[in-house]
């Protein structure tokens, strides 16, 4: 009887869709008045698990290498809707481990190819305001290093590096590299140098 009720394994696209639903919930309800703390905690735990699952699909685990077809499915679904935007916007609302996993997912997606196209580059071209969010992240010590790492991965794409270099935000880097927090200042300096080199 037990075998009859086994749930079928989730596909990479299913994991992305469920993650997107959880991100929407977190974006709307995290820290808001009237939110049910127990429900919020459950949703956060579920979101953390899903983001960890995404990371495992993209990077593999200790025993298995990533499967190309699974990575393609995940990437296509990720960029079909605004999952990248939701993930970036929710980074300040999740715990440290989930921030780290989210950073790695965003980084890996910058390199994933689908039919010889890098969907991340096309998505960022159409959503340049996300880069403004990542740059401004240096002003928040909680997320500065995570947003900085994501930004450096995004500027791997020449058109994105050019946008950052030509944006008004570029002047802010002169302030960011003088922030008293050494780690954040060093990170901003690395991003500034990477942007200049790539563009």
Burial of 100 (0-12, 13-18, 19+ CB in 10 A): middle
Residues 105 and 66 in one domain: yes
- Mean pLDDT, the chain, integer: 91
Whether 6 is covered by a domain: the verdict is: no
Domain end residue (candidates: 78, 112, 146): 112
Rounded to whole angstroms, how far apart are CA atoms 78 and 120?
A: 9
Residues 75 and 139 in one domain: no
Residues 105 and 148 in one domain: no
Whether 199 is covered by a domain: the verdict is: yes
Q: How confident is the model at residue 62 (pLDDT cuts 50, 70, 90)?
A: confident
**Which residue shows structure tokens 């939110």?**
35
Residues 107 and 36 in one domain: yes
Q: How confident is the model at residue 1 (pLDDT cuts 50, 70, 90)?
A: very low
Tell me the pLDDT tens digit for each residue of 10-45.
899 999 999 999 999 999 887 677 668 888 899 999
Residues 127 and 164 in one domain: yes
Whether 4 is covered by a domain: the verdict is: no
Whether 5 is covered by a domain: the verdict is: no
* CA 149 to chain CA centroid, nearest Å: 10
Whether 160 is covered by a domain: the verdict is: yes
Whether 85 is covered by a domain: the verdict is: yes
Residues 130 and 91 in one domain: no
Number of neighbours of residue 65 by Cβ within 10 angstroms = 8
Residues 188 and 160 in one domain: yes
Instruction: Give the domain extent around 151.
Output: 121-199
pLDDT at 63 over 60: yes
Quick check: 44 and 97 in contact, CB under 8 A?
Answer: no
Domain count of the fold of the chain: 2
Whether 176 is covered by a domain: the verdict is: yes
Give bridge partners of residue 17 from the DSSP assignment: none
Whether 1 is covered by a domain: the verdict is: no
Domain end residue (candidates: 112, 133, 148): 112
Rounded to whole angstroms, how far apart are CA atoms 71 and 113?
A: 9
Domain end residue (candidates: 87, 112, 137): 112
Residues 104 and 134 in one domain: no
């Amino acid at each position: 009887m037990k075998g009859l009720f086994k749930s079928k394994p989730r596909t990479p696209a299913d994991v992305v869709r469920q993650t997107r639903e959880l991100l929407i919930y977190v974006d709307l309800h995290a820290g808001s008045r009237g939110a049910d703390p127990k429900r919020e905690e459950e949703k956060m735990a579920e979101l953390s698990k899903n983001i960890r699952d995404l990371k495992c699909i993209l990077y593999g685990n200790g025993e298995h290498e990533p499967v190309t077809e699974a990575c393609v499915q995940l990437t296509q679904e990720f960029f079909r809707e605004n999952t990248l935007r939701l993930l970036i916007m929710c980074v300040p609302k999740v715990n440290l481990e989930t921030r780290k996993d989210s950073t790695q997912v965003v980084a890996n997606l910058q390199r994933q190819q689908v039919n010889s196209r890098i969907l991340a580059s096309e998505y960022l071209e159409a959503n340049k305001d996300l880069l403004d969010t990542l740059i401004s992240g240096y002003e928040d010590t909680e997320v500065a290093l995570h947003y900085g790492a994501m930004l450096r991965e995004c500027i791997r794409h020449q058109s994105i590096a050019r946008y950052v270099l030509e944006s008004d935000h570029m002047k802010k880097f002169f302030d960011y590299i003088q922030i008293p927090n050494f780690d954040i200042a060093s990170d901003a300096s690395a991003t500034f140098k990477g942007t200049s080199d790539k563009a």
